[in-house]
Chains A and B, each alone.
Chain A
Amino acid sequence: MLIFEHATPGRRATAQAPATMADIDLPKRFARKSPTGLPEVSEMQAVRHYTRLSQKNFSIDTHFYPLGSCTMKYNPRACNSLAMLPGMLNRHPHAPLSHSQGFLQMMYELQEMLKEVTGMAGVSLTPMAGAQGEFAGIAMIRAYHDSRGDAERSEILVPDAAHGTNPATAIMCGYKVREIPTDEQGDVDLDALKAAVGPQTAGLMLTNPSTLGVFERNIMEIARIVHEAGGLLYYDGANLNAILGKVRPGDMGFDVIHMNLHKTFSTPHGGGGPGSGAVGVAERLMPYRPIPVVARDGDTYRWLTEDDLPDSMGRLSAFAGNAGVLIRAYIYMRMLGKAGMPRIAEFATLNANYLEKRLVEAGFDAAFPQRRASHEFIITLQKEAKELKVTAMDFAKRLLDFGFHAPTTYFPLLVPECLLIEPTESETKEEIDGFVAAMVAILEEARNEPDTVRSAPHTMPNRRFDEVSAARKPDLRWRPGE
């Protein structure tokens, strides 16, 4: 129910609106002629309406949320409360450098920590989200080729197991996309890659571990093939959580990477922002980093701008990225320390492998049974869809009734009837066991009372949506009288 549907003409919340308005000397032509259209509700109605809405949130704070490829992990409360200290919140972006030394020091140290954990030569924190980070990364690849007079390179190679954002980014930067197939083990098809590279190759975009939930084992060979053809290697940091403190993109031969600080380093995400797509670069891309970047001169810190980096790919925001997200990332990394960083990867992969093993024992089919999972894995419900006529979507919907957020469904596209499951490092064994028990119970239902599963969810505020109508005839706005 919309707040407007609670409205009664003439009702008002007096605490918010003064009963009498001061006379304002406003020229008549500026005065509005129609009512404002604001909902006419009491304060209590407004409070109850929004409280009820907030209680409908199905979130990481209330439920296990194994949404693969999204890394919906717990963000420690301390990161948030420290980032909300008045000195952090109230610093004006135009404050002089002498008043911003503390903030700049944090940003400098964050750059340094990210360099160390990724093995890159330099970092820029300025991209405002993952998509901007990707854009900055490919724009730097273009700037590099252009600066060498190597402007004939027109193609970016993208494995078919890549995130959908990768080809979109390449197109945005003016490149053509060539898709590289994946072999049966989930690795990039090396023969196809060798056949695809050439003087037209600007670079390759790769996610490692890939969207199939496995680590690309031939990464060194891939890097050699692409580099020998004169292309550069781009690392999509979507799955960075799986390798933190264990292996570094810089050591795998990547020339440029983006990191989703909002998902790997403690900012709640999934609500559309704000985010941070910080980028890391190898030595040869240092001149092209997006500005500003923080530098240290002795004991003081300052911004590097156009004067320092004249070949920069440019600015991506009015100031320097989303400061709040960067501060949270800084605090999170400082709390973990160097010793804590690898434990993220260890527990994330341990949880994923434990969960996969238990689901397989319970009768589910892993998409890549011969491979060890990384931080996420795929099960395919092709058998269940065929034999029981109960689909991956039906399982996903029924999981909601059992108190679990559904895993990612029907992605990646390479695997039919798939669920992409990422428990993350922050869940307990008991919680994971509970998820397995729910999946087993649903499988049992699928055999004995399949309609219960097909018509799920039964306990949510809304039942199964009509996805076809939602996509064909979306109902996105409300107007008085409609």
Chain B
Amino acid sequence: MSNIPSELKYTKSHEWISDNENGTVTVGITDHAQELLGDLVFVEQPEVGKELEAEEACAVVESVKAASDIYAPLAGEVVEVNEKLEDEPELINSDPYGEGWLFKMKLADPDSLESLLSADDYAAEADQ
């Protein structure tokens, strides 16, 4: 089974969300997702300042197998993107929960975090 850190939140579409405890969250894709995708070759990030709706397709990750949309887990504004991924998309494969993070967003509603999946819920989803 792939690595699913218990302190993070998750979506059905395989994003992880980390609460930075200052009204912003960091978003990436799970270990399970990077494993399914295979070697990443390209990442298209959202623009900083962009207002996203929950579940809006906002980024694209492309692997040797497929290009996949990344969805905004919650509504909010993009405040930072991981620019290192432009040259080193493989960071998503090697360190999906660390150096391979995608972007940070300021949540429209900080309480909305509670609506996301827990690690156990996600593990059950990913197992299907």
Listed in ascending order, the chain A residues whose CB lies under 8 Å from chain B are: 409-411, 413, 416, 467-468, 471-472
The secondary-structure label for the interface of chain A is mixed
Q: How far is the CA of A175 from the CA of B66 in the complex (A)?
A: 23
The yes or no answer to B124 lying at the interface (CB within 8 A) is no
Give per-residue flags for B44-84: 1 if the beta carbon is below 8 A from chain A beta carbons, else 0. Answer: 00000000000000000010111010000000000000000
Q: How many whole Å from B5's CB to the nearest CB in chain A?
A: 23
CB within 8 A of A471: which of B36, B64, B68?
A: B64
Contact A472 B41, beta carbon cutoff 8 Å: yes
Q: How many whole Å from A394's CB to the nearest CB in chain B?
A: 12
- Chain B residues whose CB sits within 8 angstroms of the CB of A472 once the complex forms: 41-42, 89
- Pull 20 A–B residue pairs with CB atoms less than 8 Å apart, ordered by A: A409-B65, A410-B65, A410-B66, A411-B66, A413-B66, A413-B68, A416-B36, A467-B39, A467-B64, A468-B39, A468-B41, A468-B64, A468-B90, A471-B41, A471-B42, A471-B62, A471-B64, A472-B41, A472-B42, A472-B89
Q: How many residues of B contact A (CB 8 A)?
A: 11
Q: How far is the CA of A409 from the CA of B36 in the complex (A)?
A: 14
Q: How far is the CA of A471 from the CA of B89 in the complex (A)?
A: 11
The secondary-structure label for the interface of chain B is loop
A410 — nearest CB in chain B belongs to which residue?
B65
B65 — nearest CB in chain A belongs to which residue?
A410
A164 — nearest CB in chain B belongs to which residue?
B67
Q: How far is the CA of A322 from the CA of B74 in the complex (A)?
A: 48
Q: How far is the CA of A410 from the CA of B42 in the complex (A)?
A: 18
- Chain A residues whose CB sits within 8 angstroms of the CB of B41 once the complex forms: 468, 471-472
- Chain B residues whose CB sits within 8 angstroms of the CB of A409 once the complex forms: 65
Q: How many whole Å from B14's CB to the nearest CB in chain A?
A: 13
- Chain B residues whose CB sits within 8 angstroms of the CB of A471 once the complex forms: 41-42, 62, 64
- Chain B residues whose CB sits within 8 angstroms of the CB of A411 once the complex forms: 66
B90 — nearest CB in chain A belongs to which residue?
A468
A471 — nearest CB in chain B belongs to which residue?
B41
- Chain A residues whose CB sits within 8 angstroms of the CB of B64 once the complex forms: 467-468, 471
Q: How many whole Å from B40's CB to the nearest CB in chain A?
A: 9
Q: How many whole Å from A472's CB to the nearest CB in chain B?
A: 5
- Chain A residues whose CB sits within 8 angstroms of the CB of B42 once the complex forms: 471-472
B64 — nearest CB in chain A belongs to which residue?
A467
Q: How many whole Å from A170's CB to the nearest CB in chain B?
A: 14
- Chain A residues whose CB sits within 8 angstroms of the CB of B66 once the complex forms: 410-411, 413
- Chain A residues whose CB sits within 8 angstroms of the CB of B65 once the complex forms: 409-410
A391 — nearest CB in chain B belongs to which residue?
B38
Q: How many whole Å from B97's CB to the nearest CB in chain A?
A: 21
Q: How many whole Å from A77's CB to the nearest CB in chain B?
A: 37
Given contacts A409-B65, A416-B36, A468-B90, 14 further A-B contacts (CB under 8 A): A410-B65, A411-B66, A413-B66, A413-B68, A467-B64, A468-B39, A468-B64, A471-B41, A471-B42, A471-B62, A471-B64, A472-B41, A472-B42, A472-B89
- Chain B residues whose CB sits within 8 angstroms of the CB of A467 once the complex forms: 39, 64
6 pairs of A and B residues whose beta carbons are closest in the complex = A471-B41, A467-B64, A410-B65, A468-B39, A472-B41, A413-B66
